[in-house]
Amino acid sequence: MQLNPNAGVATATPHLRKSLMLAGCALLMAAGAAHAEDTKDWQVDSAVLYYKESAGRVQAIEPVINVKHDFGDEHILGLKFTYDSLTGGSPTGGVVATSSQTTVSPSGKSYTTVKPGDIPLDSNFKDQRFALDGSWSQPLGNDFKVALGTGFSHERDFTAATANAGLSKDFLQHNLTVNLGVSGEYDRINPVGGIPGALTNAAFNLRSGNESRNGVGGQLGFTMVMSRNWLLRANFNYDRSSGYQTDPYKIVSVVSSNGTVAGSLYESRPDQRARKSVYVESRVGLRNDDALSISYRRMQDDWGIHSDTAEVKYHYAIDDRTYVEPHIRWYQQTAADFYSVMLHSGAAVPTYVSADSRLGAFSAPTVGIKVGRTDEDGNELSVRLDYYQQTGKNVEKGPGILAPYDLYPGMKAVMLQVGWRFGL
């Protein structure tokens, strides 16, 4: 499943102080919404996201409710509830074939027949996720601010608990804010039917037990008012995880020299992963409350993946209450060192191998537009529509009878989000 097309790429935007928002000329929110924050103790951001992949693949519905309450003097409590409902066909990692293929569900109780030339999908894919996050922030002495957070999420086969803490300090008469943050995560992986043995024959579907994974991370960054209408942000992130990193539902096809699919093995990934990234964003306020945001992110990990993300947003104020915000994002990445679309019969089986397209080399542009309007009380209704397209890079031809087939068909997706921000 690939609910977020740029998973691991998009960087969350931290909360900016009122003075910085004014210097940035509203930028990502309408002036009415900023006014609501000045006059309401409770702020509610609610949204419903509909996500649909092409070719009968995953679709999702995700409602989110984010509530903040200011107890005064910037003592702020935040609560966020997220629910995901996922259905559709999830790629198994198997390669296309010239004849029909039958895939077995992880439980071993159902089967899916795939037509010749089609990417094998688990059409029985279905899941639900519940997530609850909480945060608390407040000033701490002169020009310092502390933020604490925790989160818990649960789905049918995965449970995660997170904690984070951050400290920021203002300099240069609040024109420069330097922040330092740390985070930790514990995951419990309990797949349907159990954990399969790495590189074992998928036809036997031998599974048992569960696994866990731990992660820690840190961030160092700054936000600076460069001029009255120019805001600059930059941060450096590093995180490391250890434990079970393999996707228990993904397989790798074994293909003979003539292109016949001879079988499949469960994938295998390293049990350690470290990632580091640099993110830079520039926001410029223009005339008539318009604003331009340009950002770039570079990420690399020790699996061999290097990615680049560039995004441009333009906030166009139609009038005092209505705005339009077109945006475009470009993402590309290299493949993991152990990524392979297939294994060849008779060749030595490597220690680590995965045919998961999310670990392959690809490029993926996203284009979209957001429209928002505030009412006389400062409440905002918004609608956002995005189109995403993923295309494989550095592709190889299949052997023998597989040569005419596209082994890297890519993916397209549409995202529609409706949001309602209001104060109480």
The structural domains of the chain, with segments of one domain joined by +, span: 18-423
Q: Which fold has domain 18-423?
A: Porin (2.40.160)
Residue-level pLDDT at 117: 85
Alpha-carbon distance of 29 to 363, in angstroms, equals 29
Sign of torsion, CA 50 53 56 60? negative
pLDDT at 107 (0 to 100): 65
SS3 for 362? Answer: strand
Pairwise CA distance, residues 62 & 155, whole Å: 14
Instruction: Dump the DSSP string for 295-309.
Output: EEEEEEETTS-EEEE
Q: Give the pLDDT of residue 39.
A: 52
Report pLDDT for 100. Answer: 86
Q: Where are the beta strands (DSSP E) in 115-229?
A: 121-122, 126-139, 144-155, 158-171, 176-189, 195-196, 207-208, 211-227
- Give Cβ neighbours of residue 347 (< 8 Å, ≥ 6 apart): none
Contact 45, 79 (CB under 8 A): no
Q: Provide the pLDDT for residue 7.
A: 39
Return phi, psi of residue 21, to 5°. -65, -40
The Cα–Cα gap between 332 and 353 comes to 21
Whether the model clears a pTM of 0.85, i.e. scores above it, the answer is yes
Query: CB-based contacts of 43: which residues, under 8 Å, 6+ apart?
Result: 36, 37, 67, 68, 69, 70, 421, 422, 423, 424
The one-digit pLDDT tens for each residue of the chain (424 residues) are 334 433 333 333 333 223 222 233 333 233 333 333 445 689 999 999 999 999 889 999 999 999 999 999 999 999 999 999 999 888 999 999 888 887 777 766 677 788 888 888 887 778 999 999 999 999 998 899 999 999 999 999 999 999 999 999 999 999 999 999 999 999 999 999 999 999 999 988 899 999 999 999 999 999 999 999 999 999 999 999 999 999 999 999 999 999 999 999 999 999 999 999 999 999 999 988 999 999 999 999 999 999 999 999 999 999 999 999 999 999 999 999 999 999 999 999 999 999 999 999 999 999 999 999 999 999 999 999 999 999 999 888 899 999 999 898 889 999 999 999 999 8
Strands 176-189 and 211-227: antiparallel
What span, in angstroms and rounded, lies between the C-alpha atoms of 223 and 34? 19
End-to-end Cα distance, the chain: 37
